[in-house]
Amino acid sequence: MKISDVLKKAYHEARMRFTNQLSLIKKGDLTKTIEGTPNSAGFLIRHIGDVELLFAKNVFGAKDIHVHAQTVIDRKDSGSWTNLEELVSYLMTSEQTILKIIDEQSDSDWETNITTNEFGTKTKAEAFGRIISHTAYHAGQLAMILKYGK
């Protein structure tokens, strides 16, 4: 089995913690936050898509990707992420982009070093762990917001 096949399975498994929640979300849930925390459910959903697209572009060099990562630029919730259909569509795009990037890698590509300002120099395989853990981390936050947020 190719390394890319293994990493796609890992990505799917980690992202499932996030995507399983999407079918439960109602439009009114998107503005929910937990008291004392800055980000709404809608912001976190958009943020995951933004970071996945940035990751594909900056870590894997997908120059054809055009992303305006407003959640990363703003660093705070503007309250504008309230269109559930748009958010889900954006996430489908970011997921397909990540899967395409994975498929394009040869086994030896995964050992190639890349350097970013965010996490220094890592192999592509090590860097890929960042996107998996990022999505899982925010999936947990989303679950808490949906359960306890107002």
pLDDT in tens, 2-30: 999 999 999 999 999 899 999 999 989 99
pLDDT band for position 62 (50/70/90)? confident
CB atoms within 10 A of CB 75: 7
- Strands (E) across 4-149 are located at 113-116, 120-123
List the domain range (segments joined by +) for residue 51: 3-148
pLDDT in tens, 113-135: 999 888 899 999 999 999 999 99
Candidates 137, 45, 138; CA nearest to 87 is: 45
How confident is the model at residue 52, as a pLDDT? 95
Burial class (CB in 10 A: 0-12, 13-18, 19+), 96: exposed
Count: domains in the chain: 1
| CATH code of the domain containing 25 | 1.20.120.450
In the chain, the N- to C-terminal Cα span, in Å, equals 46
